[in-house]
Amino acid sequence: MSPFRAEVATLDPPAAPHITLAEVRAAAGRIRGAVVRTPTLRCDTLSRATGATVFLKLDNLQATGAFKERGAANRIALLSPRERAAGVIAMSAGNHAQAVARHAALAGIAATIVMPRYTPATKVTRTEGWGAKVVLHGETLAEAAAHAYDLALREGLTFIHPYDDPAVIAGQGTAALEMLEDAPEIEMLAVPVGGGGLVTGCAAAALEMKPGIQVFGVEVEAYPAMAQRLAGRPVQVGGPTVAEGIAVRDVGELPFAWLKQHGIEVLVVPERAVEEAIAMLCEGAKVVAEGAGAAGLAAVLAFPERFAGKAVGIPICGGNIDARALSNVLLRQLLRDGRLLRLHFDIPDRPGMLADIARRISDLGGNVIEVQHQQLFGAPTVQSTELHLMVEVRDAAQGNAIVAALQAGHYVVRRG
């Protein structure tokens, strides 16, 4: 059970929330002007690469860089005068924190955000930048959540849940509402799943707007909690992932009940597919997406047979990726695509050897971008030297030709 729901623990799961298209449309009216109506664009580059007709809903263009503003804005708009006067509280280490902070500030409402102590300083600073009071507590999200609930009860604050709240779910559904209004030809949606609020809201809106549309949730293989719950299996999650925005152990009870009732399938994608999707979005669509924001495209890459020939709507639900993580993903993808070569040699320690290797590479159009030449300590004997090269090439075929030319010169080349 979600730690956010600890105060309403029961033996029986909650009933599925009644989320209707009318409620999503009402939410759209409440948040109009406070939340960006982001564009839905067909991407021909990704369409050619995947065999599907890909439409991207660019919620990475929201002021805080993520879709979370939709649900937060709708929930805050529904506060009573007494609740507004008392203030709101939320728990988050990421996008929900900034969303609540921003929309509370826009409404002139005091906001407290509880974050785990390990939260990166940049996220704390950004949240405080929207005017919220940040409280750092606990080592885990569950500990921070428990403290947030305790503060809410003691200080009379309204807790704004990131996904286990019908008003938040309806607000998130406005992403699908806009997408289908702008691109009614969409036949499928591939929606990232963390706690489940976004996929529930989007599915509720889409299934009523366009009966027969297929909606898939998407989780990463290290955190397939919703897929496990829906299959009736124990939740076993954990491990590093670039999709930290959907790295959730305790999914929302309301989203779980709704998805189960409506038979929504959740696809589980490998980590490598998420990295590939981030790189494809950056290079092919010129879109910066965080790991969670790229999960929908990762599903199209991992399950091509499910989406081939279909018009697929993909919410790019967040763009808050660390610059170093993005650069690492792009470099790893260049290596996988064969556009970067890592070459290792043990060569005789004689004049002209390095020059000859460089000439063979340049003759075939390769560009040496990094050289490590170890003569003293790394080589197996004093008569040899270790050489490590990073070479930029157009594609795998050019890289293979360069390796063949080096081997023809009697060099022993190891790739890796």
- Round to whole Å and give the CA distance between 104 and 168: 14
pLDDT of 15 over the 90 cut: no
Q: What confidence score (pLDDT) does residue 5 get?
A: 40
Q: What confidence score (pLDDT) does residue 121 get?
A: 84
- Higher-confidence residue of 382 and 60: namely 60
pLDDT of 1 over the 80 cut: no
How does residue 118 score in pLDDT terms, banded at 50, 70 and 90? Answer: confident
pLDDT of 4 over the 80 cut: no
The CA distances from residue 43 to 55, 333, 348, in Å, are 6, 20, 51
Domains and CATH numbers, the chain: 10-66+165-332 (3.40.50.1100), 69-159 (3.40.50.1100), 339-415 (3.30.70.260)
Q: What confidence score (pLDDT) does residue 386 get?
A: 87
How does residue 9 score in pLDDT terms, banded at 50, 70 and 90? Answer: very low
- Round to whole Å and give the CA distance between 314 and 191: 6
CB 63 within 8 A of CB 36: yes
pLDDT of 376 over the 70 cut: no
Residues 6+ apart with CB under 8 A from 224: 237, 266, 268
Q: What percent of the chain has a predicted confidence (pLDDT) above 70? A: 94
Q: What percent of the chain has a predicted confidence (pLDDT) above 90? A: 83
Q: What is the mean pLDDT of the chain?
A: 93
- Round to whole Å and give the CA distance between 359 and 49: 35
- Which ranges in 231-381 belong to alpha helices (H)? 253-262, 271-280, 295-302, 304-307, 323-336, 353-363
Q: Region 304-329: what's the mean pLDDT?
A: 96
Comparing 241-255, 281-295, 325-339, 373-387, the range with the smallest average pLDDT is 373-387
Give the chain's radius of gyration (CA, Å): 25
Residue 28, phi-psi category: left (phi > 0), alpha (psi -120 to 50), beta (remainder): alpha
Angle at 19 between CA 274 and CA 225, to 5 degrees: 35
- Round to whole Å and give the CA distance between 109 and 130: 12
pLDDT of 182 over the 50 cut: yes
> How many contiguous H segments (helices) and E segments (strands) does the chain have?
17, 14
In one-letter notation, the amino acid at residue 218 is: V
80 φ, ψ (degrees, to nearest 5): -75, 165
Q: What confidence score (pLDDT) does residue 3 get?
A: 39
